[in-house]
């Protein structure tokens, strides 16, 4: 075959669409129930936005972005993650002048040039939220709760939450020093990536997935033992607030998240057996980021989760998301006059907001097969006899029975039928 979808991308075929609608609808409902409002930002941004936010020493900016010059010579980058764009929009539209906190959510495609492997896509989709302008840890607990409620609402309830605090610009340098000093003793046994991280991005040493680095990680100094007083108070309160939500958690001092801009709270949610390698949701606080992007000093916190991974887990758990049966009427027609009547009635039904279409111009059996392939709930059969009597045949495909009905009767049936509401 000449053309295929590019490596690391997928087509969402019609049969899979119900998963996507289910996840997107639930995400919107849950986020809105917490007072979050939707924002959409462009698919590409000024490349410098990502260099300034994510940091040029991260894997993402070093080797995973889709960066290109446009015809005007500007360097643009396809969005690799959601937070930076939303921060840029917050600053650009003066949202710091609105009552704080500003609560936003988004559903958007992201792009990263990842090594193709199971569960990793180069074009993937994200559900995320950001809360700006509130440093009190109740909002940290709230953001965690939104992600937790969303996952349990779609039926993924075998998850666990790990949290950590990585301090702020006041106390983290001391911790990073301690970490570097500790790691220097092991420089001989580290993987090549960790040798590099030791210089460029020491916190990410704790994020290494290579087996031989794990013992070093396990006995490394803990960030929570280096917190300054305000960071420690924030950390303690976060745990108190989380406890009031009833969400169980585990403290994991090796949790640092991949991006440079995090401060204080970081967290991840994972399925039971796949720790770290298959995180469903993760997020954290980024109090310095808005200032770093040229905005006013504004605290922020958020999470992002990959929709593909959420759907993978819905399938893993075989969660039944069968949508309500919807009214979908196909008109089978035999003869030119019948076809015109089918086109007319079908059009009237659609104007009532219901699904209806005309069968293919083939024999009756072939049209009936098409109706069942399309999951039609009903077929209305019109031939010459039916046209002359004005009584059409209405066949209920789920029950297998049939009755006679007039054109007015059909429209009335559509208006009053209780499964007539479309699911989305």
Q: Where does this chain bind Zn ion (CB under 5 A)?
A: 167-168, 170-171, 191, 194, 208, 210, 213, 228, 231
User: Which is closer to Zn ion, CB of 20 or CB of 182?
Assistant: 182
Per DSSP, 64 falls in state I
Q: Is the distance from CB of 237 to CB of 230 less than 8 angstroms?
A: no
User: Which is closer to Zn ion, CB of 224 or CB of 278?
Assistant: 224
User: Which is closer to Zn ion, CB of 114 or CB of 193?
Assistant: 193
Angle at Cα 274 formed by Cα 138 and Cα 279, nearest 5°?
Answer: 40
CB 314 to Zn ion: min, Å: 33
Q: What is the spatial distance between Cα 271 and Cα 4, in angstroms, rounded to a whole number?
A: 32
User: Which is closer to Zn ion, CB of 97 or CB of 219?
Assistant: 219
User: Which is closer to Zn ion, CB of 7 or CB of 209?
Assistant: 209
Q: Is the distance from CB of 256 to CB of 268 less than 8 angstroms?
A: no
What's the farthest any 2 CA atoms get from each other in the chain?
94
CB 8 to Zn ion: min, Å: 24
CB 227 to Zn ion: min, Å: 5
Q: Is the distance from CB of 125 to CB of 109 less than 8 angstroms?
A: yes
CB 226 to Zn ion: min, Å: 8
CB 236 to Zn ion: min, Å: 13
User: Which is closer to Zn ion, CB of 216 or CB of 381?
Assistant: 216
Report long-range pairs for 179-182 (Cβ below 8 Å, ≥24 apart).
179/203, 179/205, 179/206, 179/220, 179/221, 182/220, 182/221
Strands, sheet with 102-111, edge to edge from the N-terminal-most edge strand: 37-38, 102-111, 123-132, 300-306, 281-285, 263-270, 160-165, 250-251
CB 102 to Zn ion: min, Å: 24
């Amino acid at each position: 075959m000449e053309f295929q979808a590019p490596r690391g991308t997928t087509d969402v075929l019609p049969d899979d669409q119900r998963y996507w609608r289910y996840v997107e609808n639930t995400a919107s409902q849950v986020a809105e129930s917490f007072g979050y409002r939707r924002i959409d930002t462009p698919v590409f941004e000024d490349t410098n936005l990502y260099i300034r936010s994510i940091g040029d020493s991260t894997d993402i900016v070093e080797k995973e972005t889709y960066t290109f010059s446009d015809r005007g010579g500007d360097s643009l980058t396809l969005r690799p993650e959601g937070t930076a764009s939303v921060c840029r929009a917050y600053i650009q539209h003066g949202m710091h002048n609105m009552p704080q906190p500003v609560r936003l959510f988004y559903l958007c495609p992201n792009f990263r040039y990842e090594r193709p492997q199971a569960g990793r896509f180069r074009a993937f989709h994200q559900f995320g939220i950001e809360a700006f302008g509130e440093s009190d840890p109740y909002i940290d607990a709230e953001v965690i709760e939104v992600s937790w409620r969303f996952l349990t609402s779609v039926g993924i309830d075998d998850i666990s939450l790990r949290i950590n605090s990585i301090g702020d610009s006041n106390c983290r340098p001391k911790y990073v020093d301690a970490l570097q000093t500790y790691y220097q003793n092991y420089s001989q046994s580290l993987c090549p990536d960790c040798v590099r991280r030791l210089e460029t991005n020491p916190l990410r040493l704790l994020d290494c997935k290579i087996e031989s680095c794990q013992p070093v990680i396990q006995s490394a100094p803990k960030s929570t033992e280096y917190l300054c007083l305000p960071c420690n108070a924030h950390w303690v309160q976060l745990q108190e607030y989380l406890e009031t939500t009833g969400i169980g958690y585990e403290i994991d001092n090796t949790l640092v998240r991949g991006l440079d801009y995090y401060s204080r709270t970081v967290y991840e949610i994972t399925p039971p057996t796949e720790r770290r390698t298959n995180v469903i949701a993760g997020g954290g606080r980024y109090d310095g980021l808005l200032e770093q992007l040229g905005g006013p000093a504004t605290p922020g916190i958020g999470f992002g989760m990959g929709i593909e991974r959420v759907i993978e887990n819905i399938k893993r758990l075989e969660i039944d998301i069968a949508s309500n049966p919807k009214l979908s009427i196909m008109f089978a027609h035999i003869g030119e006059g019948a076809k015109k009547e089918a086109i007319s009635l079908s059009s009237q039904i659609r104007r009532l907001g219901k699904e209806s279409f005309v069968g293919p111009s083939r024999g009756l059996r072939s049209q009936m097969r098409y109706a069942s392939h399309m999951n039609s709930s009903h077929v209305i059969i019109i031939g010459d006899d039916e046209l002359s009597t004005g009584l059409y045949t209405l066949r209920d495909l789920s029950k297998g029975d049939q009755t006679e009905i007039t054109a007015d009767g059909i429209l009335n049936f559509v208006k009053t039928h209780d499964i007539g509401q479309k699911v989305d």
